[in-house]
Structure 1
Amino acid sequence: MASMSPVSGSVMSIYSGDFGNVDIKGGIEFSIDYVEKLKEFLIYIYQCRELAVAEVKKQRSDPYVKAYFLPEKAKMGKRKTAVKKKTLNPVYNEILRYKIPKQSLLAQTLNLSVWHHDALGRNSFLGEFNVNLGTWDWNNKLRKWYQLEPRTPAAGIGLKNRGEMKLALKYVPMSSTGPGTKPNLTGEVYISMKDCLQLPMLRGNKINSFVKCRVLPDTSRKSWQRTRTVDKTPNPYFNHTMVYDGFKEEDLREACVELTVWDHNRLSNHFLGGLRIGLGTGKSYGTAVDWMDSTHEEATMWEKMIASPNTWVEGILPLRMFKVATPAK
């Protein structure tokens, strides 16, 4: 697992994350405008600065900027700039255009993301910035710098009810299986995914959902596990158990189980909501972390698991929105 944690990362299944493996840094300079006469939305992309290095061995990035409307990316399509090679400070001076009624814009979020172009198609995410067009000051036409941020799951913006998840947790401590056998010096955490209830329907009556899991502070790709995808229902039944090993009892107070629910479609996966089940202390191994932010209900379930080893602790918890931490290198 991550170097800050002694917990090992053995898992039963592996799922590659959607967020790349580059530390996010730098900024983007842009402005936006709407031309009433042409019914055209304009995005002026000027430049980026101090971007992350995508290819560490070559110490280079070949960045470009991509524009989408959220939460439904496919509806209006994407626009993107040219690729600028071998630079962390690309200058574009390009205009991305959309023919769209202004009233339709007010229900959208503009997503600007920066990517490293890879010749083999394995593009790396370098950061993004989201603009809520419903609250945007349309008199503001000035170019301005904005700090790039890690991937923010933006589907379901404005939804108050994101559904619930039914699950069970169990901690099996370190043990010895008998005379002459090698003792198990660390314990295991079992996470039994039962089902989800009343997931938000972002695409009319279509939803194809799956659940991803990892145990923080490990943000590496190898820590991901996922369920199968259940199609065409807001109440998917998964019945999937995930196991993470390498836990001593003291590690449980520093760790957090992150469960995220996703709607899968052909173009992209949309984040619907999630849980972070831990003590919610704000710290892990003495370091302040934003992912140790469990709600009272989530923290109570984790506390019950710690207090009841070898016993399943069940619960139904409400899903919520949060930023998913970027995978480590």
Structure 2
Amino acid sequence: MITADQTSPGLSLAPSPVQTQGAPGFIQDIWDKIPLPPWLLITFLVGAAFLLVSGLLCTVCCCCLRRRRRKKRGKETVGLGRASNSTSTHLVQPHLDDMELGLDDQKRGWLQVSLEYNFRSQELRVGLKEADHLKALQADGTADPYARIYLTSDPLKIHETRVHRQTLSLVFNESCIFQVPQAELPKAMLVIQILDFHCFSPHAPIRELLIPLGTSDLHHVLEQWYELGPPGQAEQEQTGELCFSLRYVPSTGKLTVVVVVLEARGLRQGLSDSYVKIRLLLNQKKGKKKKTTVKKNTSSPYFNEAFAFPVPSSQIQNVDLLVSVWGHRCLSRGEPCGKLVLGCRGTGHQLQHWSDMLAHARRPIAQWHRLQSPEEVDKALQIKKGLQLPLPSS
């Protein structure tokens, strides 16, 4: 019988079952070394997992709530910025930063004004206190502002303040007195224009304020901040009216359009001189122009002047008449108060007036017309600045 010790070195026996069994795992070793019963260890692991999941859920909920609050605040900010007239904060805090309302880009500007009306003497005292957050028109970001004040009921009396150099926030501390009968208060309107002073060019309007006296409580002194609006509001509201007649005389090869300028009324306030200019447009190009005499110191001038424009009969569908009222202010050059266009490109009453003229040969047709904004008419016409086309002489 051969024993293990007697076996030769070259021979090897099969390994025992104990030798073939793998070593215990790392987790199994740790599990065996913990001096706790298995049920207690499992309880601890389940509790830790529960706490971890609860913490993650709380974090996600908090993030969602924060996002909802931010969205809600954003909506409230946009709504407040849109409703600029729904708050009276500017009456007591005009220096409030407009960035809170999202209006910093507009730079509307504010003006503090006081109104005091004496019912015995029928005098209105207008006090300009100060202005803030005006719009810069110059390249250096500043302006040389001053104020121009007048009443629609007395357009020839204008008060101008002194010029303040290189500033967008200024203190006026100036006042002026206007004679306003009590019967005219419901229709009168106070106009305050803020302009940028220029030495060698027309003064540029910055902002404008319109205060209707009929809706203001003048039984006691009013002093408050007003939000300034865009310039040109008073001019748009009171452009005036013009009455003229049209008549055309057909003849061999040509037509003669006769325009008789009769009178105007309700022209813009503050005009010292006014006149009417008539220009013939052929194929949207400027042709002959004629103008009336100048009428001084009146907002309702009477002209009664006739002008004749010869037109080729084949071009009647391409002819327009541009009628404009011009005026001079104190120490300023002439500027258009309002315009009208008559012809096939006209609209409304202007087109009807032109059609009535063509339908009644040799018969004058007179009509009143409300003047339109010069910018609006020029944009509608899209006038081409080119060489004047020769027209047949009369």
Give, in whole Å, the separation in 1 of the partners of 2:196 and 2:368: 36
CA contact (8 A) 2:275 2:294 kept: yes
Residues 77, 301 of structure 1: CA spacing in aligned structure 2 closer, same or farther, 3 A cutoff?
closer
Mapped pair 1:210 → 2:275: yes
Residues 132, 270 of structure 1: CA spacing in aligned structure 2 closer, same or farther, 3 A cutoff?
farther
CA contact (8 A) 1:154 1:271 kept: no
1:200 match: 265
1:300 match: 352
Determine which structure has greater relative contact order: mean sequence separation of CA pairs < 8 Å that are 6+ residues apart, divided by chain length.
Answer: 1
Aligned residues: 245
Give, in whole Å, the separation in 1 of the partners of 2:216 and 2:320: 36
TM-score of the pair, normalised by structure 1: 0.52
Give, in whole Å, the separation in 2 of the partners of 1:131 and 1:230: 32
TM-score of the pair, normalised by structure 2: 0.45
Give, in whole Å, the separation in 2 of the partners of 1:119 and 1:315: 46
Match of 1:317 among 344, 367, 375: 367
CA contact (8 A) 2:161 2:174 kept: no
CA contact (8 A) 2:110 2:134 kept: no
Give the AA of the match of 2:204.
S
Give the AA of the match of 1:41.
R
Give, in whole Å, the separation in 1 of the partners of 2:130 and 2:335: 29
Helix, strand or coil: the match of 1:300? helix
Helix, strand or coil: the match of 1:153? helix
* 1:141-152 aligned within 5 A: 141-150=223-232, 152=234
Q: More helix per residue: 1 or 2? A: 2
Mapped pair 1:44 → 2:94: no
2:206 match: 126
Residues 40, 194 of structure 1: CA spacing in aligned structure 2 closer, same or farther, 3 A cutoff?
closer
The Cα of 1:136 is off from its aligned counterpart by 3.3
The Cα of 1:131 is off from its aligned counterpart by 2.9
Structure 1: runs of 5 or more not aligned: 1-23, 170-189, 217-221, 281-291
CA contact (8 A) 1:301 1:313 kept: no
* 1:1-329 aligned within 5 A: 26-34=108-116, 36=118, 39-51=123-135, 53=137, 55=138, 60-70=142-152, 72-74=154-156, 76-85=157-166, 87=167, 89-98=168-177, 100=179, 103=182, 106=185, 108-120=188-200, 122-138=202-218, 141-150=223-232, 152-153=234-235, 162-167=241-246, 194-200=259-265, 209-212=274-277, 227-231=291-295, 234-239=302-307, 241=309, 259-262=323-326, 275-277=340-342, 294-295=347-348, 297-300=349-352, 315-325=365-375
CA contact (8 A) 2:110 2:228 kept: yes
Identity %: 16
Give the AA of the match of 1:90.
S
The Cα of 1:99 is off from its aligned counterpart by 5.6
The Cα of 1:41 is off from its aligned counterpart by 1.0
The Cα of 1:59 is off from its aligned counterpart by 5.6
CA contact (8 A) 1:109 1:131 kept: yes
1:177 match: none
CA contact (8 A) 1:155 1:270 kept: no
Give, in whole Å, the separation in 2 of the partners of 1:224 and 1:26: 42
User: Larger radius of gyration, structure 1 or 2?
Assistant: 2
Give, in whole Å, the separation in 1 of the partners of 2:339 and 2:214: 25
Structure 2: runs of 5 or more not aligned: 1-105, 249-254, 380-394
